[in-house]
Chains A and B, each alone.
Chain A
Amino acid sequence: MEKKIYDKLVYDHRPQEKRGQNAVIAFLIGGIIGVIGELLVEFYGYYLDISRADASIFMIITLIFLASLFTALGFFDKWVKFAKCGLIIPITGFAHSMTSAAIEYKKEGLVTGLGANMFKLAGTVILYGVVSAYIFGFIRLIIMGGA
């Protein structure tokens, strides 16, 4: 059978992914994470009497801590399976990717296992995050004079 004809055969038997439903769930769950983040910022700002920028950092730390804790307790992966990008795209996904890799490789030792593999998934995000921040920082400097 020719490969093109086979591709068509495979395509005909491929199930339709529920893209619409997945997008709606991701939108709602991602939105809820955003709302929780905003509430935390308000909470820290009000009760600790700190600036909004400082409160944002506290909020990020809280979300990272909770996501990591829930991953370690073993049920966050089930939430991710359901919410998909709703939990992967926010900071919770970043924390989850690191904690899950750390748990996976802890048996291979602190250096050769956990240390070497913890950034297996998150490493890409960090690298390209830094690179794009650098590029956009330059653009901002040139166009807006650093303002």
Chain B
Amino acid sequence: MTTKYKDVYIADVSTVVGPYEAKGPLSKRFDRSYEDMYFGTDSLETAEVKLMTDSIDILLNKLKKDKSDIDLFIAGDLQNQIATSSYTAGKIKRPFLGIYSACATNTEGLIMASNFLESKTCDEVVVSVSSHNMVAEKQFRNPTEYGAPKPGTATFTATGGASCYLTTKKSKVRIASSTIGIVQDYDQTDPMDMGAVMAPAAANTINDHLNNLDQTVDDYDLILTGDLGIYGKEILIDFMKTEYGIDISNKYNDCGTMLYDLEEQKDVQAGGSGPVCSALVVYSDIIKKLQNKELKRVLYVATGALFNPTMVFQKENILSIAHAISLESVE
């Protein structure tokens, strides 16, 4: 499903990161970074809540706004029952919708916000996402101190919080259109190779988006996927070519491979992942390039592996989804 928007603008964005992201190539562009994984809190889970609340505080400060200005707060994360979002919403005390699409959560939130704004249901919406490496490891895999060996295709959950302030008032960047993805099942069962799980979802959504809007790859300066990692990226390029006859290779990049220095930070294996991974790259880098017109039009396709450990242990496949939004710099 593809929707066009006339009056949806991004007023500003904010990013908060953990120590590992702060050592990456985008290090200087984040609004705040922390040196340990607890950020002065007692537990990893509350630390993630701090990441998200911090990102909202920074965002409101930048715009000189108050919590009461927010008409609607949409947020999602990776913690069980999206606890980070709920506990953040508990502090914000504004109307709240909690969402989940794994690592595609950010675009899901932006699409929902855009629809609310376009229909004039509300004027100012904040969309937040977060993830915390150790919270995700504890929940989905082994204890963090265990250090279980992983294959090269494994990705590394990014630690951070990111927020976006959307409004109907004109600004330098707008959301021009969006496509809601369809869940894909390609018989993938390896939780250590999420790139292979998610690539078909990304391909399907990109193709739908271009077809529905009668566009080609040339209409975009950059096509950006969420967190496919090095190998998922190669799979997507091949998949697009063979399945749809579309060559995206010279306009395409993946946020998972941009967040870290893959040569220096070997621990991340195939790249970054998590709902916040693509948000950190888009908000710290891409939005700024759109604001100063270095880029005109970007297709941002966040990809999510709808991974549930219980279902995988019961030999079910891992499903995936991707949602796309088109970001444009405003003349």
Question: Chain A residue with minimal CB distance to B317?
Answer: A3
From B101-109, B143-151, B300-308, the one touching the partner chain is B143-151
From B19-27, B231-239, B272-280, the one touching the partner chain is B231-239
Chain B residues 113-139 with CB under 8 Å of chain A are: 138
Assembly CA distance A76 to B147 (angstroms)? 8
**In the complex, how many angstroms separate the beta carbon of A35 from the nearest chain B beta carbon?**
23
Select which of A3, A10, A96 is within 8 A of B146 by beta carbon.
A96
**Residues of B contacting A100 with CB < 8 Å?**
142-147
**In the complex, how many angstroms separate the beta carbon of B280 from the nearest chain A beta carbon?**
25
Assembly CA distance A112 to B231 (angstroms)? 40
Assembly CA distance A79 to B149 (angstroms)? 10
Assembly CA distance A22 to B150 (angstroms)? 12
**Is A80 in contact with B149, judged by CB distance below 8 angstroms?**
yes
**Is B193 in contact with A1, judged by CB distance below 8 angstroms?**
no
A104 within 8 A of B: yes
**In the complex, how many angstroms separate the beta carbon of A95 from the nearest chain B beta carbon?**
12
Interface string of A94-111 (1 = CB under 8 A from B): 001101110111010000
Question: Chain A residue with minimal CB distance to B238?
Answer: A9
Interface size on A, residues (CB 8 A): 32
**Is B238 in contact with A13, judged by CB distance below 8 angstroms?**
yes
Assembly CA distance A84 to B243 (angstroms)? 39
B212 within 8 A of A: no
**Residues of A contacting B231 with CB < 8 Å?**
13-15
Assembly CA distance A104 to B140 (angstroms)? 13
Chain B interface residue bracket vs A: 20 to 34
Question: Chain B residue with minimal CB distance to A10?
Answer: B196
**Residues of A contacting B98 with CB < 8 Å?**
none
**Residues of A contacting B235 with CB < 8 Å?**
9-10, 13
**Residues of B contacting A79 with CB < 8 Å?**
147
B326 within 8 A of A: no
**Is A3 in contact with B144, judged by CB distance below 8 angstroms?**
no
**Residues of B contacting A81 with CB < 8 Å?**
147, 149
**Is A107 in contact with B193, judged by CB distance below 8 angstroms?**
no
Question: Chain B residue with minimal CB distance to A99?
Answer: B145
Select which of A3, A13, A121 is within 8 A of B143 by beta carbon.
A121
**Residues of A contacting B145 with CB < 8 Å?**
71, 74, 76-77, 99-100, 103-104
Assembly CA distance A77 to B125 (angstroms)? 42
**In the complex, how many angstroms separate the beta carbon of A125 from the nearest chain B beta carbon?**
13
| Additional A-B contacts beyond A9-B235, A9-B239, A103-B143 (17; CB < 8 A) | A6-B186, A6-B239, A9-B238, A10-B193, A10-B235, A13-B231, A15-B153, A76-B147, A80-B147, A80-B148, A84-B149, A96-B146, A97-B143, A99-B145, A104-B144, A104-B145, A107-B43
17 contacts between A and B (CB under 8 A): A1-B243, A3-B186, A6-B186, A6-B187, A6-B200, A7-B187, A9-B238, A9-B242, A10-B196, A12-B238, A14-B193, A22-B149, A80-B149, A97-B143, A101-B146, A104-B143, A121-B143
Binding site for A on B (CB under 8 A): 42-43, 138, 142-149, 151-153, 186-188, 193, 196, 200, 231, 234-235, 238-239, 242-243
5 closest A-B pairs by beta carbon, nearest first, are A77-B147, A100-B145, A104-B143, A100-B143, A15-B152
